[in-house]
Amino acid sequence: MRSTAQEVTLAGVRTGLALTTTMTLVVRRAIRPDPPGAGSGAARPGSGRGPR
C-alpha cells in the first residue's frame, strides 16, 4: 500500500490540528491558572466564569 501525497497531507494536517489544540489548551492553562480556592474549578473546568 503506497500512500499518495493527498493521504500524507491529510495525515499531516490531522496531526497538526491535534498538536495545535493540545498546545493551546496547555498554554492557556499555564497562562491563566485557576485561582487557589476555586472549588468548582477542578470539578467543572470552564463553567462560564469570566468573559472567556
In angstroms, the CA 40 to CA 45 distance is 7
Interior/surface letters 9-34, b for 16+ CB within 10 angstroms, e for the rest: eeeeeeeeeeeeeeeeeeeeeeeeee
How many Å from the N-terminal Cα to the C-terminal Cα in the chain? Answer: 46
Q: Of all residues in the chain, what percent carry a pLDDT higher than 90?
A: 37
pLDDT at residue number 9: 94
Give 14's Cβ-side CA count (13 Å radius): 6
23 pLDDT exceeds 50?
yes
